Amino acid sequence: MNLSENKNNTSPLNASFRQQKGGGICIQGYEGSFHQVAARYFFGKQVEVIPCATFRDLVRIASDKKQSAGGIMAIENSIAGSILPNYNLLQKSNLKVIGEVYLSISQNLLVNPGVKLSDIKEVHSHPMAILQCLDFLEKNEWKLVETEDTALSAKHIHQKHNKHAAAIASKLAAELYGMDVIAPDIQTMKNNVTRFLVLQREKETEEVTGANKVSIYFQTNHSKGILAKVLTNIAAGGINVSKLQSMPIPGSNFKYGFYADMEFDTRKQLDRVLTSIQSLTNSVKIFGIYKKGKVVKG
């Protein structure tokens, strides 16, 4: 692998990825997707990526040391909320969270070189990207064409040398496919952030220096007030629960387990809190202990 240093790296474990062989970092989508943008922020611009058609494929290939060195996967968005199926995929995998990236999503209108706004007759992109940019798009009488991927839309328009079509995609897609950004930041809501988890196979993980965040899953016996008791113990230990997500327990009659992200100061503090909630929970699974990410511009 060829992974370069990056000032925006969130974890010293980037070095351990560089030492591995057997492939790059799995992303969902095509080259130029926002998954690749997030991967570049964490690993550096020279990171080798493995495009995957679905999140299930991403987890499957990231779990195989013969095919990859790990993966990076979107888990929630500040507008759309959590990507719930991805929690289940993570639950069943051998992957651990070793970092995260909060990417501020910038949607841009891309065209082939020389194309003007007056030349455009149709705009291609993923349905979600089109919805995010409707205020801008509705100012023009363009045909809106839904596709399976933002970056793939840019690639196809570039390959066909289309002079009357534009794509909504990332600035990275423009860079990779030699297109011009004719209108930047066209999304309606400017505060649109997607959180990505950086994943590595459990047997290959190392302790993250400066870790201050943990992602866990726990179940309770569903007795009256039991969740409040768990949260009270966590708060009493001085730890902040930054996210709490309930999920149905498969095979149960509307019983729920809970995914939680917690921020802590020291590992001893975390260990004490995890010990304190053991008697209140049926099981606690740690998805990863890592360093809290910062919002970066996509």
Q: Which pLDDT does position 4 carry in this prediction?
A: 34
Task: Name the pTM for this structure.
Answer: 0.89
> CATH: 3.40.190.10, 3.60.20.10, 3.30.930.10, 3.20.20.210. Which one for 14-105+192-204?
3.40.190.10
Place of tokens 């709490």: 244
Place of tokens 């299930």: 56
Q: Which pLDDT does position 263 carry in this prediction?
A: 98
Q: What is the distance of C-alpha 200 from the center of its chain? A: 14
Q: What is the distance of C-alpha 248 from the center of its chain? A: 22
**Residue 152 is which amino acid?**
L
Q: Which pLDDT does position 250 carry in this prediction?
A: 81
Q: Which residues contact 144 (CB under 8 A, 6 or more apart)?
A: 122, 123, 130, 137
- Tell me the per-residue pLDDT of 106-161, one tens digit each, with 9 for 90 and over: 999 999 999 999 999 999 999 999 999 999 999 999 999 999 999 999 999 999 99
Q: Which pLDDT does position 235 carry in this prediction?
A: 97
Q: Which pLDDT does position 255 carry in this prediction?
A: 84
Q: Which pLDDT does position 9 carry in this prediction?
A: 41
Which homologous superfamily is 108-183 in?
A: Periplasmic binding protein-like II (3.40.190.10)
Q: Which pLDDT does position 110 carry in this prediction?
A: 98
Distance CA 107, CA 252 (A): 41
Please tell me what DSSP assigns to residue 27.
E
Which residues of the chain have a pLDDT value below 50? Answer: 1-22
Give the residue range(s) of CATH 3.30.70.260 domains in the chain: 213-290
Please tell me what DSSP assigns to residue 190.
S
Q: Which pLDDT does position 282 carry in this prediction?
A: 87
**Residue 241 is which amino acid?**
V
CB 234 within 8 A of CB 264: no
CB 253 within 8 A of CB 63: no
Distance CA 16, CA 296 (A): 23
Which homologous superfamily is 213-290 in?
A: ACT domain (3.30.70.260)
Compute, in degrees rounded to 10, the torsion defined by CA atoms 230, 233, 237, 238: 70
Q: Which pLDDT does position 166 carry in this prediction?
A: 98
Give the residue range(s) of CATH 3.40.190.10 domains in the chain: 14-105+192-204, 108-183
Residue among 95, 91, 288, 54 nearest 199 (CA)? 95
